[in-house]
Chain A
Amino acid sequence: MPKWTMVIDLDKCTGCGACIAACKIENNVPIVDPIQANEGRVLFWMDMITQYHGDYPHIEIDRMPKPCFHCEHPPCTKVCPVRATYLNPDGLVAQIYHRCIGCRYCMAACPYTSKVFNWYEPMWLDGNYNCFNPDVSLRMVGVVEKCSFCSHRLLKVKEEAVLQDRSIMDGEYQPACAEVCPADAITFGDAEDKNSEVYKLSRSYRASRIMDDLGVEPKVYYLSKRS
């Protein structure tokens, strides 16, 4: 059973934001009205945390891309009253949008604040002149959504692998953020596969997980010399 894991190398990440943009386009994430966006209702599946520390002039800055952590023991799925969010057979935390009643219990339960809520009708290019990614369904107002590790790509890769009667190769299944990262900071793969890049990196001395003591077993590792 593959364990899809993401490793983000903070020593390489420059904070350029390419992952955010790629994620929004790939997953048909709507644009939010400017006023509402500044009220904190902006929809980023992949977000960027910025933190300064140190005293001037010795300032250091931490930029941390933050997707959904796809915990192995996700707290969000346990509180969902309608089973709209669940741990799917691939080990990814998935959302079923048309089941979601918009109670936002899962948002409250998520320790990483990875989930976002559609407060308003989604906004696209005016005149609906868009070309959406046909592999990802659009969401309606009043549902919770979040990073899916681009699971629609996994479906495709799995199909291909089954047709060719082989297992999925390392690097074959890549979410959009890992694919476009100009700094090669995001590595994605199967942490159970001992030959994979992710297996090596997640066992690196630089690797750590955020809020590991909660016991939710997140599947996103960060590499950094500093922490």
Chain B
Amino acid sequence: MEIKRRDFLKLFGGISGALFLGGCGLDDVLEIPAKLVNKVKNGPRIETWKNTICSLCSGGCGIQVRLIDGLPVYIKGNPNYPVNQGGMCPLGISALQVLYNPDRLKHPQKRIGNPGSGKWESITWDEALKMVSQRMIELRNENKAHQVAVLGSDERGLMKEHIVRFLSAYGSPNYYQFSSLQNDFIPYQLVHGHSQIPSYDFLNAKMILSFGANFLEDGYSPIYYTKLYSHHRERQLRYIQIEPRMSLTAANADRWIQIRPGTYGAFALGLAYILIREELYDVDFVNKYTFGFEDWTDRESKKHNGFKTIVLGNYYPEKVSEITGAPSEVIIELGRELGNTPQALVLGGRGASDNTNGTFSMMAIQSLNALLGNYERQGGIFFIDEPPYSKLPPIVEDSIAKNGNRKELIATPRDIAFPLTNFSIDSFIKNILTDKPYPVDILFLMKGNPLFQSLNHHEFVKALKKIPFIVSFDSFINETNEYAHLILPTHTFLEEWNENSNVPSIGFSHIGIQQPIVEPLFDTRSMGDIIIDLAKKIGGTVAKSFPFENYKQMIESKFEGVYKSGQGAIATKGVKKLWLEYLQQRGWQIGRYSSFEEFWDQLLENGGWWNPIRKEKKLTEIFKTPSGKFEFYSQKLKSSIDDLVKKTIEHDSTQNLESVLSRLNILARGDTVFLPHHESVPYEGEMPLYFTTFQVLTNRDGNGANLPLMQEMFGYTVRYYWRSWVEINPITATEFGIKDGSWVWVESSINRIKVQAKVIPGIMPNVIAVPFGLGHTSYGRYAKGHGVNPNSIMRNLYDFISGKPALDGTKVKISLAS
């Protein structure tokens, strides 16, 4: 149904007495679903609240949506949901601007013009799904099922399982995720032997030392940490932040210590030096549960240097001070404070991990936790249990699927690079461009915007142009989707079913249930349902692997396990302190629901399930490394580099360990390679300033840029709205003749960007910082053409080991723009 704007205003006037006529586009014709119009027109103005989960970032906050006659008007935090306990971030609050966004896709779109020309044709769902399924059936018949690849963003839990299931049944092993959290687990895998991100007991810690972990702004769940953090002064918790720029987290810390970008590993080892030298470490833990601390002899009676020898020999305070730029007194003082505080926690984050030496830095940071014996104790590090979900029925694979699933992964580095990962965006792009090991025929994009977030835009664009058929699942057209041939418009999170379980690093297992708050506004579909539809259309064993009518049914079947297990509880008002203690005494069993239906209804009403009680684990159980202990000396890294050497020698017998290490850009030699150590970042010598970026709460990884309120609030801390800025220390500013507010060029060897200067003391001299998230060339009217994308001037560098983009690996110069 179409109605004229005037009618619409009349409708709205009816409900909100003094409605003022807005300024723009007076004769616009609005496409509003008839149901909604009638509701507004005849509505008795009844207020209802519904619970769901916000999915604008990885945080997984429970939200309550206020509906007036079924139309969402306001979002607040769900006070009973354990992750955020009623708290919200600005991005989540403005989620309704996602729902009502004028740039939302309303029908499946087929591209008819060149990429970026904005020429799209609306087609029906039947046509669109037919286009995709036909191509997929053809590929399968030609035995090329493996040439389908999926590039996802930050799907977790059931959605991830769902996509993997679809691909396995179809016959492709190529599912990759590109997000800012990508490959985060690798350093943990090296030292702990498994890829689970650890949780930290903030509540009982006495001191927290954070290496570049800006967890109040860009961690896994900023609001969860804000809740924990805001009470730290009452609990006498001392909080110290180490990073070159004063982020929101550093601004709130009790102490901010400045070090140069890319030197986190050296600083951590400098602290380890003090702990070891002054015998402030947990001797018992280190002796019993760690591997490679002292010098050791292997089975072939070859002597190896231990962590202790390397640290004592190389990381004395003066040297660390020279590398990091922090005074040696600070290092000594901090090392002593760390060693003498019971329950001191150490955590590393984006600043430390997003550099060429990120994996080694994170290993060094984790080794501090091992020295302090922080595992599985009060105020320490622990690992939470998976929620007791039931298993989905087995995947049915026919011979084509089996054959395809055995094929080599397409994103595995072909050259000597990234020994520990089978996905790096860099190798993914390279392999597509060279058709190795085989070409990609269909690429699915899942809601992300990898092109905007990647470093080598040019190559990426070339790769995207090369792929014959790109299908994107998204609600908006963004930079990456411009290159898609077909966009299948998905619901926004307020219109679809999903689940959100176990957000990494949160201290208890939990599941949030995301349910539709409002009927779909447009002709969109849920991503989970589209995948099931596609499977049904492809038919055969692919369809058999999905014995579900829709995605909601899949979620329900998973939850049956939770109901049957009797563990945990639905997050209701009653779940507060006293009640928890009561349950802990009597064993954590609920069984208050007479049937699954009752459990399910309760779940929908309250928004989630959680289980704060965790089985105590023995220290010998938590490390899954070859030695069964925390590994200072990573045998996993050793074996994967050995494998890489073996593989290289097969191709070229002149190669050896030495040449492989130099191809990996690793400067260390001998045992040091496999121990936590400092690798210098290959900066370009002639550039004077370190360049770093940061994410802000209002935008996160660029996805908040199409919300006008978030654009307006982008720089609320520095009073720059809708635009980027560059933060410069007054000392550096004077040196370069820059004043607050002047426009400057920030220039690297790659490119340059023009931004306004913000001269503030909250950044180290010789370091400049630009916020990430603006500078869109697409992504709707509110995002396009505002600010700059700092990634566009970054060198195409990656973590040597994990293949994570090195966002702090560039040096720049700065000059006044006249």
- A and B pair up: yes
User: What's the nearest-Cβ distance from chain A to residue B685, in Å?
Assistant: 26
- Indicate whether A22 sits within 8 Å of B12 (C-beta atoms), given known contacts A16-B222, A185-B230: no
CB-CB contacts of A85-116 with B at 8 A, as 1s and 0s? Answer: 00000000000011000000000000000000
Residue of chain B at shortest CB distance from A98: B18
> Does A144 count as interface, using CB distance less than 8 angstroms?
no
* Known contacts A34-B721, A48-B717; A126 and B24 CB within 8 A of each other: yes
Contact bitstring A32-62, B, C-beta under 8 A = 1, else 0: 1010011000101000101010111101010
Write the chain B residue with the least CB distance to A225.
B233
Residues of A168-227 at the interface with B, using a CB-CB cut-off of 8 Å, are 176, 179-185, 225
* B76 neighbours in A (Cβ, 8 Å): 22, 176, 179-180
Q: Inter-chain contact count A-B, CB under 8 Å?
A: 206
List the A side residues contacting B100 at CB < 8 Å: 125, 129-131
In the complex formed, the residue of B with least CB distance to A61 is B251
List residues of A whose CB falls within 8 A of some B CB.
Answer: 11-18, 20-22, 24-26, 31-32, 34, 37-38, 42, 44, 48, 50, 52, 54-57, 59, 61, 63, 97-98, 120-134, 137-140, 176, 179-185, 225
Q: A14-B252, A37-B722 are in contact. List 7 more A-B contacts (CB 8 A).
A: A26-B74, A34-B712, A50-B717, A98-B18, A122-B20, A128-B24, A132-B19
Nearest CB of B to A225, in Å: 7
Contact A56–B226 (Cβ < 8 Å): no
Pair B716/A48 contact, Cβ less than 8 Å: yes
A127 contact from B30, B89, B718, B722, Cβ within 8 A = B30
A residues less than 8 Å from B73 (CB atoms)? 131-134
Q: Which of B51-102 contact A (CB under 8 A)?
A: 68, 71-77, 84, 86-91, 93-94, 96-97, 100-102
Q: How far is the CA of A38 from the CA of B719 in the complex (A)?
A: 8
Task: Please measure, in the bound complex, the distance between the C-alpha atom of A134 and the C-alpha atom of B74, giving whole angstroms.
Answer: 11
* Contact between chains at B23 and A122 (CB < 8 Å): yes
**Pick from B87, B102, B252, B256: contact of A15, CB under 8 Å:** B252
B543 close to chain A: CB less than 8 A: no
A128 CA to B26 CA in the complex, in Å?
Answer: 9
Tally B residues with Cβ within 8 Å of A: 81
Using Cβ atoms and an 8 Å threshold, which residues of chain B touch A17?
89-90, 697-698, 713, 716-717
Taken together as a complex, chains A and B put the C-alpha atoms of A61 and B687 apart, in Å, by: 30
Contact of B761 among A24, A32, A52 (CB under 8 A): A52
Chain A positions within 8 Å of B94 at CB level: 21, 25
Residue pair A183, B256 in contact (C-beta under 8 Å): no
Least Cβ distance of B220 to chain A in Å? 15
- For the residues of A in contact with B, the DSSP-based class is loop
> Could you tell me the distance in whole angstroms from the C-beta of A152 to the nearest C-beta in chain B?
11
Asked if residues B24 and A179 are in contact (CB atoms below 8 Å), the reply is: no
Return chain B residues, CB-CB under 8 Å to A134: 15-16, 45, 68, 73
Within 8 A of A (CB), among B377-397: none
Q: How far is the CB of B707 from chain A (nearest CB, A)?
A: 9
B5 surroundings in chain A (CB, below 8 A):
128
Decide if B30 touches A182 in the complex (CB within 8 Å): no
Q: Which 7 A-B pairs have the closest CB atoms?
A: A182-B87, A183-B230, A21-B90, A137-B18, A121-B23, A34-B722, A37-B721
Q: Chain A residues with Cβ under 8 A from B74's Cβ?
A: 25-26, 133, 176
Provide 16 A-B residue pairs closer than 8 Å at the C-beta atoms, listed in order of the A residue: A13-B230, A14-B252, A15-B252, A25-B94, A31-B712, A34-B721, A38-B720, A44-B716, A52-B761, A57-B256, A126-B25, A180-B93, A183-B230, A184-B87, A184-B227, A184-B231
B711 within 8 A of A: yes
Task: Select which of A59, A129, A140 is within 8 A of B102 by beta carbon.
Answer: A129
Q: Select which of A34, A129, A138 is within 8 A of B20 by beta carbon.
A: A138
Of B17, B74, B227, most A-chain CB atoms within 10 Å:
B74
Q: Do A132 and B12 contact each other (CB < 8 Å), given the known contacts A34-B786, A126-B781, A127-B28?
A: yes
Tell me which residues across on chain A come within 8 A of B28, comparing CB atoms: 127-128
The answer, yes or no, to whether B229 is at the interface (CB within 8 Å) is yes
Q: Is B153 engaged at the interface, CB distance under 8 Å to the other chain?
A: no
Interface centre among A16, A32, A52, A130 (most CB of B within 10 A): A16
CA of A138 to CA of B21 in the docked complex: distance in angstroms? 9
A16–B216 contact, CB under 8 A? yes
Measured CA separation A137–B102 after assembly (Å): 23
| Inter-chain contact B761/A121, CB cutoff 8 Å | no
Report the minimal beta-carbon distance from A167 to chain B, rounded to whole angstroms: 23
Q: How far is the CB of B321 from chain A (nearest CB, A)?
A: 13
B431 within 8 A of A: no
Closest Cβ–Cβ distance, residue A11 to chain B (whole Å): 5
B256 to chain A, nearest CB (A): 7
Residues on the A chain within 8 Å of B258, using CB: 57
Min CB gap B43→A, angstroms: 10
